Amino acid sequence: MRGAIRVEAVSQETCQTSPGASAPLLLCQQHGGCDGAPNHPRPRWLLLCHRDHLLMAEISSHTVFVLGGARSGKSAFAERLVAESGLERHYVATGRAWDEEMASRIAHHRDSRGEGWTTHEVPLDLVGALRQIDIAGNVILVDCLTLWLTNLMMEERDLVREFADLAAQVEQSTAKLILVSNEVGLGIVPENRMARDFRDHAGRLHQSIAASAREVYFVAAGLPLKMKG
């Protein structure tokens, strides 16, 4: 089973279904023991029968979500989390070099990271790329979700489906996953329709990922504020 299991509470009620069981029995609280089987959502809560007692445990993801404004220090903070993990480093770059300025930004990020990374350029099929490198022992840094959203909008992709697929991958990830995104909803209302749509889509995406992630940070002036986990 993927994800980390965290025990939330212990019941002293004796388990009648498997008295004297020598190994834990996993029962999906929502689906009667499906244990994340095909055609069922991955369970978030389990009842574990162990040594004649029931334990309630939550399956939490390995994902960290880092939000912040432009030049807030969010990418540098995320890269520090990667370094501290001690795992095999993978960098998923979602940006496209639409012009010289964007090409310069991409080059700056690449140079600042230094060596020791395997880089994957993924402007659109983010979930597919994550699945390919979703291996225990890997840490995957995705920078960033707002550039991915830009690409999706330019290609007129189904955003609802793309967001849902990413949220599902966040919950199921075996590798440690660190997602970076720009918070764009704190300023004035944009003057044009496309910019307003982008702001709204980003807000919905961030809510979805934050709900699925194990930890969430907001970074301002280089200082991370832990919001969840």
Closest CA to 145 of 124, 164, 128, 169: 124
Closest CA to 214 of 162, 182, 175, 188: 175
The partner residues of 216 in beta bridges, in order of sequence, read 65, 228
**Would you list the DSSP string of the chain?**
--SEEEEEEEEEEEPSSSTT-SS-EEEETTTTS-TT-TTSPPPSEEEEEETTEEEEEEEE-SEEEEEE-TTSSHHHHHHHHHHHHTSEEEEEE-----SHHHHHHHHHHHHHH-SS-EEEE-SS-HHHHHHHT--TTEEEEEE-HHHHHHHHHHTT--HHHHHHHHHHHHHH-SSEEEEEEE--SSSPPPSSHHHHHHHHHHHHHHHHHHHH-SEEEEEETTEEEEEE-
| Number of residues written out for the chain | 229
Name the active-site residue from 40, 62, 108, 109.
109
Q: Tell me, yes or no, if 40 is annotated catalytic.
A: no
Residues belonging to the active site: 109
